A and B are shown apart, each in its own frame.
Chain A
């Protein structure tokens, strides 16, 4: 019986969050703790001529100052994914030092760390460190970075490419099909750079303890075990069993806290040098300058259609910035998380994508909510809508013509794409139908025509996305270049009294795992949610884990927990059979007790638990205890999909876009907690709307960031968005026990092109065919002038 699954159970964690009682890294104060501040480069590209710390060292309260000369972390922080050149050349992977040595490669790169008794004194002393630079020309645009004579980010190689990669069908074959096509639609644009903006800035405390020669690193990460692995095995070369990584509450990540950052490694090194704990918390401007950003692709694409509007071929070339160094998963983002989604929800028979990934004099780019899939969706959904206009077809109709027909992945096989993946299950027509119905599409088109007569600029934009979550199995991702497995660990410890502690390698930083995981655990065990606790974010408590990103927690982490629950129920049945003097096959388990079929003889979960720990009257040969840990390595990705539809009105005088309606019909497989899924969709949609209308990281020609604070970087606010209208269809995932697909990124992936399509639609009768994102009033106004 399902008591909690499918219910909008209120989030348990909100009580402490709303009362300000959450435990974030910056809240932690250890005895004897020191504070640190970084000296960061004001140049994007420069030679370091000299660093003079004399005056700073003499300043009040200074404990120590380190520069690259001091030999900290000789290896630097590693990259976790290798994408080689299509010609076989190995990915070019520069060393990423913990402190810059000799040369600066982006604004904000750390040159020195100052440790002092208070944060204020650390900042004051940091200002006294004198660094002499010789400024050099910089390149921040990924396309310009590949032009002959472009300033080089790393001197080790002939040009700025980290790799040049392709996926899909043979290029010549795709080109030939485009030649033959009845109609070809072409687009060139920039999927611009955005900053993740977690509300809690990155924060770390490293604490070296001579007793036992152990380190504890408190860190605001999405990924404690991976951080420990990268820190120990690569960055510092210290023994993994001597290091504990703790991340209690984390105030948002959106990808930016997946990665192993230089500051984490450096603080860990420093704490042993000074023999005291040391803390660093980023401020907002530092966050803009040093957190990994998202997107930054320059795209040129062609899509060919036959006379019926069927897509016949799709060819795209992209330049995707890596930034100055390769962040942990950076190479995977514009490749295996991006090119593999170029099939979209369409039957396109021929697809080819080429990606050149150059280094640029900017902070690194890595996975930001959606990671590669929003960029793929933006391209597909914009170009299809553009094609519809060019072929004088309705954009919904063109999509219906090209959808992959429904398949459930059980009776019908999964859908093999041209770009490596096999979709699990899908019904793409159904979500769009429902989306259009929610909107009242036909009526809207009439209203739009009327409005146009009165000079009112109304537009509607459709986006039908698919994405890939919970990427797996490990052997496959390994073959694709991942240097880690992508399984998850779920450990279920039944306490003697029948209370249950669940240890998960997934990490909650806003997702609500403490609630959702407890919901299905309680249901599967037939016990009360209050009897289930979810523990995460501490490598000393949780055996191992791969953290939370890519909407993987429930589909991968949840499945690992289910595996352990199965083992518990299997062992519990043995104990119950013994106590009830019945055969195991004759027992049923429901509502928290084992019952002998057809009788009223039963034993409760609690009694079985106690028996397991007080094994007096106990099955012979059976080990005591009720405690299982499992690793779950999925057989495939999961593929959520949906239809997002936006309605906008454009102010003809100012170009300002007013988002009037947003309809999201998503299919995320089975839903454990509708309220939380809605919340994820709402937040995701707003982030996608943010990219479409407002947000943009701007670097000027010298590599200076001109959007390093909220005075200039526009975040979406409540009054920028209408109430988001959500609904769902349900196509369960056929290959995981809960039938779930993932909902963390769907909103961001689907929404951006819906909004831009709507703006272009509103202006289409004026001859506008595209507007560069973010579609700010200025850009819209300019587009209307031309």
Chain B
């Protein structure tokens, strides 16, 4: 549980972080809360030579209401998000999800930006940003861009983020009616299945984490939603590979996905 040797640099601005990333290339990794990266380093599964700490960059840890949108800075910790009244009132689905992440210590360190960039297939945030149609705001050498959540997750621990880009904020539309339902893995307490559902007019938007290597929008459920009482049965339609481990094999996981989608739809 001792990481390999590494250098540590602290960035004081986004542009400094980006130029440090450029300087050190693939040897470097940014670190924010450190609660996904450092455990991997301790097991020596990840061995960056340089850590670029972005946690203290001013302006990345604010939560602001901008008209119909809420913008959460990448460095906002889970606890900070959980405590935010703006979030509780206008983005309650996010509140529900973050309050189910890890425990107090984890929530006090882990950040929304870190969680999304890490793209752990069992983490909670991805389902929520998908269901909310949030936008991931990133900045890199080439400047700023916004990536729709639906285009952000590409695979297991793999996102649309370019090598020298960092997430600066996540832009959510306000959500009047949303829910997050999580079936906890009993050891890690990550999600075996996590389902985020957002009422969208007469329709629904459903994001699912934990089931496939890549979190996804359950479009089959969304399509079946209006009128069909058993929309949840479509939770894993079209999926090729389901994740499998000793807590949940593919069959049970598929079953759980349906159960949790049903719960979510019922909760709306």
Contacts and interface: CB of A to CB of B under 8 A. Distances in A.
Given A119-B2, A285-B1, A778 B247 contact: yes
Contacts of A776: 186, 247
For the residues of B in contact with A, the DSSP-based class is: loop
A778 B247 CA distance: 7
Interface in A631-655: 653-654
B86 interface: no
B187 A654 contact: no
Interface in B242-263: 245-249, 252, 255-256, 259
B56 interface: no
A91 interface: no
B248 A712 contact: no
Contacts of B5: 120, 124
B2 A712 contact: no
A498 B124 CA distance: 64
Interface residues of B, number: 19
B188 interface: yes
Interface in A272-318: 283-285
A66 interface: no
A124 B4 contact: yes
A68 B252 CA distance: 47
A284 B245 CA distance: 21
Contacts of B1: 283-285
A778 B187 contact: no
Interface stretch (A363-371, A374-382, A703-711): A703-711
Nearest to B255: A781
Interface in A733-786: 776-778, 781-782
B225 interface: no
Given A124-B5, A778-B249, A712 B187 contact: yes
Nearest to B249: A778
A714 B187 contact: yes
Identify which of B4, B44, B249, B255 gathers the most chain A CB atoms within 10 Å of its CB: B255
B259 A654 contact: yes
Contacts, number: 51
Interface string B230-250: 000000000000000111110
Contacts of B248: 778
B256 A654 contact: yes
Identify which of B183, B186, B188 gathers the most chain A CB atoms within 10 Å of its CB: B186
Interface in A582-605: none
A778 B5 CA distance: 41
Contacts of B183: 654, 656, 777
Contacts of A499: none
A572 B252 CA distance: 72
Interface residues of A, number: 29
A776 B183 CA distance: 13
A83 B261 CA distance: 56
A658 to B, nearest CB: 12
B188 A710 contact: yes
A712 B188 contact: yes
B157 to A, nearest CB: 14
A285 B43 contact: yes
A696 B245 CA distance: 13
Contacts of B245: 712
A694 B252 contact: no
A285 B2 CA distance: 12
Interface in B34-65: 43-44
Nearest to A123: B2
Nearest to A700: B246
Interface in A344-379: none
Nearest to B258: A653
B188 A711 contact: yes
Given A120-B2, A283-B1, A781-B255, A706 B187 contact: no
A715 interface: yes
A763 to B, nearest CB: 16
A113 B76 CA distance: 44
A63 interface: no
Contacts of B43: 285, 709
Interface in A668-699: 693-694, 696, 698
A234 interface: no
Contacts of A653: 259
A400 interface: no
A713 interface: yes
Top 3 A-B pairs, shortest CB-CB distance:
A714-B187, A283-B1, A714-B186
Given A711-B188, A715-B187, A778-B247, 16 more contacts: A119-B2, A120-B2, A120-B5, A285-B1, A654-B183, A654-B256, A693-B186, A698-B246, A707-B246, A712-B188, A712-B246, A714-B187, A776-B186, A776-B247, A777-B247, A781-B255
21 contacts: A283-B1, A283-B2, A285-B1, A654-B183, A693-B186, A694-B186, A694-B187, A698-B246, A706-B246, A707-B187, A707-B246, A710-B187, A711-B187, A712-B187, A712-B188, A713-B187, A778-B247, A778-B248, A778-B252, A781-B252, A782-B252
Interface of B: 1-2, 4-5, 43-44, 183, 186-188, 245-249, 252, 255-256, 259
